[in-house]
Structure 1
Amino acid sequence: MMTSLGFQASSLRPYLTTTDEVQHTFRKLHNMGYRDVQLQWIDPAVPLAFTAEALRETGLTCIATQEDFTIVRNNLDDYITMNRLWESDSLCVSTIPRELMTPDGIVEFCDAMGQMAETLDEHGIALTFHPLWFNYEYINGIRAIDIVMERLPQVGLTICMYHTVRGGEDPVALLERYQGRVNICHFKDSALSTEGKEYLVPLGQGRIDWLPIFEACHRTGVRWGLVEQENWQKDAFDCARESLDYLTKSGITSAHL
């Protein structure tokens, strides 16, 4: 299976605060060449039904939604409604909260995720887990991410390559270890300033060695590679376009082409 490109809308949070902005942002993404998006951080003031209509009008497909663990756990019915309206069959829950990064906390996290997965399955929605960099830390000699994946075989894994590298894990080894459970990867790159401060950059302009990762995504059957960049040193939409250009030149193209 060839990995197809898409866009994680959290990258453009400041441009998703009103109905007009959502419509305009979706249209700009479509005009660039994006067709598939993961939706997150659209302002709650924007009605869910409006976003659904904006997706249809601009020719974008919502392949998944995403939000932090605590928010989803406290508002699961709202996220079920969201996914159904936006015709998404996948909900990504990110982050083991810091306060649960303990032996007992991991058990609590997994129990809650298991219950969410069961409820979502009744509505035809798959649950995936998105670890942040500190979720790669060890608990009793085992990385927290690996504890979660072992305890929750019914839950998929959404990997952000930036967080994987920052967490000290080899992204290619991680893809191979969880082959068949990774449907979405977030492609996010970073660089260091002369003062040693980290900042995000378009793909291929930072420190991550992407070509082995792209090859591993193709080889292990990752369906979607989503561009993600939540802060910028220049125009955010220019960054989205440059990342798209880099992906297409590297052999990852839209599933719609």
Structure 2
Amino acid sequence: MMTKMKVGLQLYTLRDELERDFEQTLQRVAELGYEGVEFAGYYGYGPEQLRELMDRLSLKTVSTHVNVNRLRHHLDEELAMSAALGNLFAVCPGIAASERMPLPEAAAFFEACGERFAEQGITFGFHNHWIEFTETHEGDRWFDAFFGLISPDYLKSELDVCWVAHGGCDPVEYIRKYAGRVPLIHLKDMRKSPAGEVETVELGRGDMDLPAVLEAAEAAGTEWLIVEQDDCAGPALESVRISREWLRERGY
């Protein structure tokens, strides 16, 4: 029997609200029915403060986004922070242009980081954007070549389905292709402007076939659906409420 996927929120969605009132915003996230969160910065809070707050709100710290610079120069600090928070995962949010390296070098670097996190019982992951699906390496999409060089024991995918689609690929196909290696899904909806620009919207209000994504994710063994909306046209807390309700109506 498959374990029911849990619902978390990438806190980047609420970055402005968190700056204004960190604790009240997290309390509202819990009240809306999110079971966990993924951090993208700690807003000046230390691990003990955060752990106490998260425990009080009954929110799980699912993951933290850790960029390449932090992985390269402050890995021990990030390992300690993730362990103190009780993170299940630590995820690199992508490779910035200033941090790009040859693919074999990138693969070796990420595998080494994954080994270090695994020693702490934390699963290391990589979050994609669209460029990993538009660029190629020796005839393969960059994403496939990259993951093909790294042991599944040391790198999992946090598949952002919106960016897979924007990169010209089918997210359902990729979830199936990497079944067992996609414990986290960034669940995101979008519309495209006539000029091809992406507008992120609340779940169910865009052009993504999200029911098919959910079905594929269940079958692939995904553990957490992480809601993210990069930009919200209205109040961000209202957007995350709408998205949470959309998932609740579908049994999550």
TM-score (norm 2): 0.91
User: What residue in structure 1 maps to residue 222 of structure 2?
Assistant: 222
In 2, the alpha carbon distance for the partners of 1:174 and 1:224 equals 17
**What does 1:6-155 align with in structure 2 at a 5 Å threshold?**
6-17=8-19, 21-43=21-43, 45-98=44-97, 105-136=102-133, 137-153=135-151, 154=153, 155=155
How much does 1:204 deviate?
0.7
TM-score (norm 1): 0.89
Q: Is the 8 A contact 2:35 2:60 kept in 1?
A: yes
**What does 1:185-196 align with in structure 2 at a 5 Å threshold?**
185-193=185-193
Which of 1 and 2 has higher RCO (CA within 8 Å, sep 6+)? 1
In the superposition, relative to structure 1, how do residues 198 and 163 fare at CA in structure 2: closer, same or farther (>3 Å)?
Answer: closer
Q: Is the 8 A contact 1:161 1:185 kept in 2?
A: yes
RMSD: 1.9
In the superposition, relative to structure 1, how do residues 193 and 132 fare at CA in structure 2: closer, same or farther (>3 Å)?
Answer: closer
Letter in 2 for 1:250: R
Q: Is the 8 A contact 2:6 2:35 kept in 1?
A: no
In the superposition, relative to structure 1, how do residues 197 and 96 fare at CA in structure 2: closer, same or farther (>3 Å)?
Answer: closer
Q: Is the 8 A contact 2:64 2:87 kept in 1?
A: yes
SS in structure 2 opposite 1:232?
A: coil
C-alpha distance after superposition, 1:75-133 (max 9, x if no partner): 211211211121113111121333676xx711111111111112222222211111211
Letter in 2 for 1:149: F
SS in structure 2 opposite 1:73?
A: helix
How much does 1:164 deviate?
0.8
SS in structure 2 opposite 1:16?
A: helix
**What does 1:210-249 align with in structure 2 at a 5 Å threshold?**
210-249=210-249
In 1, the alpha carbon distance for the partners of 2:221 and 2:195 equals 39
How much does 1:59 deviate?
1.4
In the superposition, relative to structure 1, how do residues 56 and 233 fare at CA in structure 2: closer, same or farther (>3 Å)?
Answer: same
In 2, the alpha carbon distance for the partners of 1:40 and 1:99 equals 19
Single out whichever of 29-38 and 239-248 deviates more from structure 2: 29-38
Letter in 2 for 1:5: V
Q: Is the 8 A contact 1:65 1:92 kept in 2?
A: yes
SS in structure 2 opposite 1:82?
A: helix
**Structure 1: which 5+ runs fail to align?**
none
In the superposition, relative to structure 1, how do residues 213 and 8 fare at CA in structure 2: closer, same or farther (>3 Å)?
Answer: same
Determine if the alignment matches structure 1 residue 5 to structure 2 residue 4.
no
User: What residue in structure 2 maps to residue 156 of structure 1?
Assistant: 156
How much does 1:46 deviate?
2.5
Q: Is the 8 A contact 2:68 2:99 kept in 1?
A: no
Percent identical among aligned pairs is 25
SS in structure 2 opposite 1:225?
A: strand
In 1, the alpha carbon distance for the partners of 2:174 and 2:229 equals 22
Q: Is the 8 A contact 1:95 1:135 kept in 2?
A: no
Q: Is the 8 A contact 2:70 2:78 kept in 1?
A: no
Determine if the alignment matches structure 1 residue 208 to structure 2 residue 215.
no
In 1, the alpha carbon distance for the partners of 2:222 and 2:24 equals 30
In 2, the alpha carbon distance for the partners of 1:35 and 1:175 equals 22
In 2, the alpha carbon distance for the partners of 1:192 and 1:129 equals 25
